Amino acid sequence: MARRRYTEEPVNHERWLVSYADFITLLFAFFVVMYSISSINEGKYKVISEALIGVFTDADRALKPIPIGDERPQTVTPAKPLVKDSEQLDAGIAQAADDPLKRIADDISAAFGDLLSANQMTIRGNELWVEIELNSSLLFGSGDAMPSDIAFNIIDKVGAILKPFDNPIHVEGFTDDLPIRTAQYPTNWELSSARSASIVRMLAMQGVNPQRLASVGYGEFQPVANNATAEGRARNRRVVLVISRNLDVRRSLTGTGTAHAQPDAALKRAGTQTAPTQVKSPGAPSAVNSPSPGLPR
């Protein structure tokens, strides 16, 4: 009787695919869970979105030549003052109920009563300029100049109030004296300048005329409180939006900073100049920006 031949079972060389498929399934489930618990920073998304829209829609950006070497100034003649020292200044500054600076201060106070009562925002002013001071912790993270979601909500409202006027605006950035040494911000100069520039960019995104805007960073060198305490350092970390009577006032303020500025004779000479004409809204009577009565500091 013939012996029965034993047939060997074929070896399956693709059994590893079962383990691989299980691993991929677990990895997919992990990323699904991570995505479901993540949150999108609307501030960063809005900045990136605006930047991409500008790149693909701004035709002039691709046509402008790239400058090579130092750009020479168009003129080296210093600007002449619009008011001579010999002109009379004792006549006083006229008062008007519909003054733009007063209207801006009133509108900001009405729109941000909660922040004012919480001491997160301060409004000061006089006949020459209005200051809107915001705590940096309300707008930015620690050691960062990327606006938070709350910052976009605040600046959107501020921009809507400032947009109808032509008064010059500059944004001042301040920090405490704690050193910062990161690749992006080697010192507090860079951090304060980046924060003020972020606010200027947000105002421009809201439709405020960019020709009205300027930004400046003062670092830790114009404190308003003692940096030896945590409360003092918190007060020194601030961003100030300054709405000036006219361009001469803004130039004078940016040269010294508003931390300790006073409406002295030199600034009053600048403030007597004709202010920018207010943008007339449809159906509204025209008004001329005349100097305002002193606002409480």
CA distance 60 to 54: 10
Contact between 245 and 104 under an 8 Å Cβ cutoff? The reply is no
Q: How far apart are CA 169 and CA 196, in angstroms?
A: 12
> What are 19-34's pLDDT values in tens digits?
888 889 999 888 888 8
Residue 189 CB-density burial (10 A; 0-12 exposed, 13-18 middle, 19+ buried) = middle
What is the per-residue pLDDT for 120? Answer: 92
The type of residue at 195 is R
Rounded to whole angstroms, the Cα distance separating 229 from 236 reads 11
Coil/strand/helix, residue 85: coil
The pLDDT assigned to 37 comes to 78
- Ordered structural domains, the chain, with CATH: 100-258 (3.30.1330.60)
Against a cut of 0.75, is the pTM above it? no
What pLDDT score does 265 carry?
59
What are the start-end ranges of the E strands in 73-185? 121-125, 129-135, 169-174
Structure tokens at 187: 């010192």
Residue 109 DSSP SS3 = helix
Q: What are phi and psi of 120, to 5 degrees?
A: -90, -15
* Whether 225 contacts 231, CB under 8 Å: yes
Q: How much is the pLDDT for 242? A: 94
**Residue among 138, 108, 136, 83 nearest 252 (CA):** 83
pLDDT at residue number 68:
52
Question: Which residues of the chain are modeled with pLDDT < 70?
Answer: 1-13, 39-45, 47, 54-97, 259-260, 262-297
pLDDT tens-digit series, residues 79-102: 343 334 334 333 333 445 578 999
DSSP state of 212: G
**What was the pLDDT predicted at 55?**
62
